[in-house]
Structure 1
Amino acid sequence: MPVTFDLFGTLVDAARPADPAAAVARELRERGVSVPDDWADAYAEPHVDAPEGAEVPLHAHVARALDSRGVSAPDNAARRAVTAAFEPDVTAGEGARAAVERARERGPVGLLSNCSVPELARRSLLSADLRWLNDDRDPLFDVVVTSLSCGWRKPDRRAFEAVARQLDCEVRELTHVGDSDADAGIEAAGGRFVDVRERPLEALFR
């Protein structure tokens, strides 16, 4: 039975910047970028015309926001600033590792996370000690798919189809474990949703 897990709010508890725009601005200045005076407004405005359900990489949004104010971000500064602003501050949820390990006993296991920040999902797994199965560095997850890597955000069915392809199964075979209406989108794609708000990780796959 192939199983996928959501990350933030399901497997890990994450502390996010209280003011993302300000956090990104601080990191941009650290990289020599002149942040416009109305940066909070620029950050809040849409700058990328994306199809419904598509993910917009946060660093692309930041670069376009700067460009809209006549500011350039050379040397990949927007990507580096975003990555630094969202340095993971996470802890594993109660029973998270055990739930994944029990799921592995039943079949392949993947991670499917809405995440627009480069490498944040993988760094969060590492920080929460959920990256590796053992000291031999066997991955705890067979595949890790983010909205950034596949291009689509849950609840769009294309996000679930992307992880199903990597797990070499049909999307209707998936059981997806999550904590939000976005995760519940698996049901419209034909799969099964397990809501950790109703059934905690400690009780799963026993």
Structure 2
Amino acid sequence: MALSFDLFGTLVTADRPAAPWDAVADALADRSIRVPDDWETAYRSSHRDYERGREAPLDEHVRLALANRGVDVSEATAREAVLAAFDSPVTVRDGAVDALSAAADRGPIGVCSNCSVPGLVERTLSRAGLEGAAGRDFDAVVTSVDCGWRKPHAEIFEATADALGVPLAALVHVGDDARTDGGAGRAGARSVLLDDRPLPDLAAAIREGRLC
């Protein structure tokens, strides 16, 4: 058995900007990028069609929105600005470290997270001190922006199982959202939702084999 954990809302809670277009605008301005006067409209408009279930990388969206307004920005600058805009304080949720430790004693552990900001999941794990908190590093960190598919699409759970070195049927995914994290069960893995199994109770269930 291998266990994967959702990140935001499951292992950590994180502050998110109420007006993300403003946060991105500030980060762009800090990098001497001219921000269009109607930036909110540009930011909130679609500039590319994506296949259903595909992740839309936010740095790409920002570059396309700027280009639509006649502003050129490099891929590296857009990525830095987007990461800076969303890199905010996080709080490790009660029971998270104990659950990770229990899972690490039973087999491979990983993170499987929807996130459109490149590098944000890794930055959040570092900021929260979760990398290595279970006594060893995660065996895999799979994000929608890197694998290209968002939960609940089966592709991201298949990618997670592959990264953890187990068949999909041996993957147990823990998350807080029935719509997205619950997709693990529909894909052929098993989903455990925090509404049914609160995080502080999860470690005991793992140690006693009640998730198998």
TM-score by length of 2: 0.91
Q: Specify the alignment match of 1:80 in structure 2.
A: 80
Q: Does 1:156 align with 2:150?
A: no
Matched residue SS, 2:173 = strand
1:126 matched residue in structure 2: 126
Equivalent residue number for residue 192 of structure 2: 194
Aligned residue among 127, 141, 144 for 1:144: 141
* Contact in 2 for aligned 1:62/1:78 (Cα 8 Å): yes
The range that moved more, 65-74 or 177-186, is 65-74
Structure 1 partner of 2:201: 203
Deviates most, 74-83 or 42-51: 74-83
**Structure ranking higher in helix proportion:** 2
SS of residue matched to 1:102: helix
State the distance in 2 between where 1:110 and 1:23 align. 30
Indicate the residue corresponding to 1:26 in structure 2: 26
- Alpha-carbon spacing, 1:166–1:134, altered in 2? closer, same or farther (3 Å): closer
Counterpart check, 1:170 vs 2:158: no
Alignment coverage as a number of residue pairs: 203
Instruction: Note the alpha carbon deviations across 1:102-137, whole angstroms, 9 max, x for none.
Output: 0111111111000111211111111111011478xx
- CA drift at 1:75: 6.8
Matched-pair contact (CA < 8 Å) for 1:172–1:189: no
The residue correspondences of 1:79-118 to structure 2 (distance < 5 A) are: 79-118=79-118
1:58 aligned to 2:58?
yes
| Unmatched runs of 5 consecutive residues or more in structure 2 | 208-212
- Distance (whole Å) between structure 2 residues aligned to residue 201 and residue 104 of structure 1: 16
Q: Runs (4+) of structure 1 moved beyond 4 Å?
A: none
